[in-house]
Structure 1
Amino acid sequence: MPIPTKFWLKSISVGVFVCLLNSCGITYNDRSLEFQNEVYHRNFTKAVTLIEDNKFLSKKRNHLLYLMEKGKVEHMNGKFKESNQLFEQAYVLIDDNIKTNAGQAIAAKLTNPMAAPYKGEDFEKVMIHYYMALNYFQLGMPNEALVEAKRINIKLQQLNQKYKKNKNKYTEDAFAQILQGLLYEATGDVNNAFIAYRNAEELYAANNNSYYGVSLPLQLQKDLVRTSKQLGFTQEYKSYTKQFNLTDADIQPHPAEAIIFWENGLGPAKDQTQITAVDGAFIAVDDPDFPIFIPIPPGTNLGITSIAIPKYVQRESFYKGAHITFNNQQKSFELVEDFYPIARQTLHDRMLREAVDIALRVGAKKATSAGLGAIAKQLLGDDAEELIKASADIAGAATEKADTRNWQTLPATISYVRVPLKEQTKNTFIIEKYGNATDRDTISIPYKKGLQLQSYYDVGRATSNYVKPQFKIQQDELEKKASSSKDSISTLNDK
């Protein structure tokens, strides 16, 4: 027996509403809490399993996200070959320009952008090469590592060339230049190391000695003075010595050294913010440093007075800083990369480029509500038309959600320190981290002539019995959202 039209239309309204409740307010950060918690406690093998089992990441549209998350965790787990295989797939996927099919495009316009394939933020795309460089170095392939380090700024420039308007302000990375310099040194190429260090210093100098939240590192100053002296560049040596107020005692070279990168905390997570229509434009001013202005074409009645856009939320790291002790000496780790200001700037520039798409998405929802209203009027009369149009407008507003996907396992910051290695000794270093509490850890680096690169991670507190409140709070909130959705669905079914 055919279902009556009136009942069919009512069922559609209820069905749409139920679907909205099921996903309302749940971000990708919520969906990834389980594996993030394992990463936090350094249970990297368990984290990989959870990433593989994550239903959200298993969807084809989220494949790039899956590759980046798993690749990073495998890197932290010391599985450098497996990590690079995943990152290579991610690199190829990005280079092939991830395609959005017609169905995904329609779904993205009528629901929210998370229905489309995730293509990655520009700074995420270049960080793939950073981890590939570290992986190659640990695999005993320093020349391949250098190739990946060079790709960082090249990729940034290639990406930016594609944009006709509102180009990225983040077009070069000072840390990438420093990394190149270190890898050149590791391969014995002091001349190109000096050039890379100089390029990094010039980026700082052009920005009042502070580049995306990072001050000019003292270690970079020392490396410039030391390499200019090694190369016999007298003029540059004298200039940098005077500029940085350094002496020969500050730059004593050693036959064997190690660079230790300290990755601290978890990088910013994406949430969403609603921006409201005011005087013919959608305006967001909740972040004074990054205002958003999206004009509404004259005479357009969108039927919705607010739209959702993503925003980055900074996640507090447990530790605020660290220093390393060796041979009765102490050196502080120096900040060399802070992802929050980079992420905010990159997202802001992208939002400005996609302003038209955002307006079209809202317009598409309005057009859909008008279409449903016309069908309702033809079948049920004038009263039904207004009811259905109003319901569809409400549904459109409710589905107006931002894409909250982002690479969750990136660190909040990267710092580094340069230490000498002694022959015929264990070369033990004590790392002391401080902030909400002070903790110590001990690492050993085997002696080897030349320059070595090592990574050390503190996603959370370096103790197994500590549960970070952030994860517990977020898990409670997620359970409340799920419970609320179930209660609402039960109520609707009863009716």
Structure 2
Amino acid sequence: MLFLFSCATYNSRIGNYYSEVRNGNYQKADADLEKVKLIKARRNQLLYLLEKGKITHLLKQYDSSNVYFNQADVFMEDVRTSASDIALGTLLNPMMQTYKGEDFEKFMVHYYKALNYLYLGQPDEAMVEARRISLTSYAQQDKSKRENRYSDDAFSLMLQGVIYEQGNDINNAFIAYRNAVDIYLKNNNQYYGTNLPGQLKKDLLRTAELMGFQDEVQRYEGLLNTRFEAVAPPEGGELVLFWENGLAPVKQQQDFFFALTKDGFGNFAFVDPAGSFNIPFDFASTNARKEDLKLDDLRSLRVAFPKYQEQPPFFRSANVSLNHATYQFEPAENINTIAFATLKERFLKEMSQALSRLAVKKLAEIAARPKSDDKNKDTKEAVALAIQVFSFVSEKADTRNWQSLPHTISYMRIPLSRGVNVLQISVSGQSNQTFNLVVEGTGKLQVQNICTLR
């Protein structure tokens, strides 16, 4: 029973909630979430706040949603790794530590908070959220100083530009659009599975023109291999519509096997049987001493490590029809790709910590074994066996993540007529569906989102 319980992933233990979210039964999902003891545990407080923020957003309870997201935001800013967390991670497994959130999850909190504020008719608060996107970007850059690491989020910067523009702050909108475009240009026009959107090119050139930055218009026309075309503002304003499709990948557990080795310079490292990995022993996180490490005792170590499993979305494409014109969504954020990539980027560091933690457990088991002439041999054998069994059942990967995030986010910009606009939205994939969205054209820029979470 202990073994079976230890193998259960976070997703399987909270599966009823996610099934209801996937099926669009949001009221039932909210009720189910409150019944899950696992997510109410102190170490999972952030996950509870994130899921409550998302489900209340889906229920259009935007005030309540931001109460939860604001608490999650404060939690992620203030949480620190405590001594007890380190001890739990070393003696048990990282699943017992406080969940602090994935880096991309921090950006998505700003996305939902900004949407909530705009739905509530609070543009000033949405502008504050836009500024906080920059602060999150700076913090992430300080954390990930190496090249080729997830340190910015192009989608969040594009969203920042939309929010500034909605608040008629064209200068900051231009800066945000430019920062987003620069990320794409730096990465050969693709960023974590998303190509540079054509709409983003237009928004950058348009805001540069509005600000009178002709040098910037000409420079980016060359960099983007496109030409700026001035278009009269629509009488009813415009709608920026985000389409959240599918669900984020879930974490599963996979097992790796390693042996401890020592090179000619006295450095210890873990090597797998195929020789694909050479991972240094992490002395800092374990307080272990080199003299305690004996290679013969650490020849076979099984370590549990998380891996993502994609949840392929039910729908693959969508378009919007309005006033005899059809508009296509463009991909803007691929959370599925980002999740896989960021886990891969930190693999070596986290695997080193996991292996070193497992080695400490093994050393404790060895220390408990009796000597040949020990009078309490039977007792010590029992203690050693107990430690061995405990180590086996407690070795578990951290399979937690914010799983109600969408698989991908796409967007479009739609010109509106003055008055009532009835948008016909068509989604296609394993089956086709059509539904309407009614938007009042006010002459201003509006922002909304739609969700298909299967």
What secondary structure, in the 3-state scheme, does the structure 2 residue paired with 1:389 have?
Answer: helix
Question: What is residue 307 of structure 2 aligned with on the other side?
Answer: 311
Counterpart mapping for 1:17-36 below 5 A? 18-21=1-4, 23-36=5-18
Distance (whole Å) between structure 2 residues aligned to residue 318 and residue 377 of structure 1: 66
CA deviation vs aligned residue, 1:88-147 (integer Å, no higher than 9, x gap): 111112222245453x54443233211111111122122212211111111112222122
State the shift of 1:200 in Å: 1.0
Within a 5 Å distance, the mapping from 1:195-274 to structure 2 comes to 195-241=175-221, 243-246=224-227, 248=229, 251-255=231-235, 256-274=237-255
Q: Is the 8 A contact 2:254 2:304 kept in 1?
A: yes
Deviations 1:4-45 (A, max 9, x none): xxxxxxxxxxxxxx4233x13210111121111111122212
Tell me if the contact between 1:226 and 1:253 (Cα under 8 Å) persists in the aligned partners.
no
How far apart in 2 are the matches of 1:449 and 1:411? 30
Please say if 1:85 is aligned against 2:79.
no
Task: Give me the whole-angstrom Cα distance separating, in 2, the residues matched to 1:46 and 1:293.
Answer: 48
Q: How many pairs were matched up?
A: 433
Amino acid at match of 2:353: D
Quote how far apart the aligned CAs of 1:391 are.
5.9
Q: Take 1:447 and 1:377, find their aligned partners in 2: how far apart are those partners?
A: 89
1:410 match: secondary structure:
coil
Q: Share of identical aligned residues, percent? A: 38
2:103 alignment counterpart = 122
CA displacement at 1:321 relative to structure 2:
1.4
Q: AA paired with 1:415? A: S
Q: Choose between structure 1 and 2: higher helix proportion.
A: 1
8 Å Cα contact 2:259-2:299 kept in structure 1:
no
- Taking the aligned partners of 2:92 and 2:373, their CA distance within structure 1 comes to 24
**Gap runs ≥5 in structure 2:** 262-268, 282-289
**Could you tell me whether the CA contact under 8 Å between 2:258 and 2:273 is conserved in 1?**
no
1:150 Cα deviation after fit: 2.9
Provide the rounded CA distance (Å) in 2 between the counterparts of 1:168 and 1:156.
15
Q: Does 1:94 align with 2:76?
A: yes
Out of 407, 412, 416, the residue aligned to residue 412 of structure 1 is 407
Q: C-alpha separation between the residues in 2 aligned to 1:355 and 1:364?
A: 14
Within 1, Cα distance between the matches of 2:340 and 2:430?
Answer: 26
1:304–1:397: 8 Å Cα contact kept in structure 2? no
CA deviations 1:241-284 (Å, max 9, x no partner) are 464434627x4432411101000000111112212215735468
| Counterpart selection for 2:172 from 169, 192, 217 | 192
CA RMSD of aligned residues (A): 2.8
Structure 1 residue 70 displacement after superposition = 0.8
Q: Deviation per CA, 1:394-423: give whole Å up to 9, x if none.
A: 542343211001001111111101111111
Consecutive unaligned residues of structure 1, counting only runs of 5 or more, are 1-17, 461-495
Q: 1:451 to 1:71 in 2, by over 3 A?
A: same
CA distance in 2, matches of 1:305, 1:49: 42
> Does structure 2 retain, via aligned residues, the 8 Å contact 1:150–1:176?
no
Question: Does the CA-based 8 Å contact 1:166-1:353 persist in structure 2?
Answer: no
Distance 2:79 2:417 in 1: 48
Q: Given the superposition, is the C-alpha separation of residues 150 and 344 from structure 1 closer, same or farther in structure 2, using an over 3 Å criterion?
A: farther
**Pick from 350, 353, 378: which aligns with 1:354?**
350
Matched, 1:373 2:358: no
Alignment correspondent of 1:456: 450
Compared CA separation, residues 247 and 127, structure 1 to 2 (3 A): closer
In structure 1, what residue type is equivalent to 2:115? L
- Equivalent pair of 2:421/2:440 in contact (CA under 8 Å): yes
**Post-superposition offset of 1:236:** 3.1
Instruction: Decide which moves more: 41-50 or 228-237.
Output: 228-237
2:27 counterpart residue number: 45
Structure 2 residue aligned with 1:487: none
Counterpart residue type for residue 219 of structure 1: Q
Quickly say closer, same or farther: Cα 1:109–1:303, change in 2 above 3 A.
farther
Look up the match of 2:266. Answer: none
1:292-320: per-residue Cα shift (whole Å, max 9, x none)? 65224774433642211112111100011
Instruction: Measure, in 1, the Cα distance between the counterparts of 2:406 and 2:371.
Output: 51
Separation in 2 of the partners of 1:377 and 1:321?
A: 73
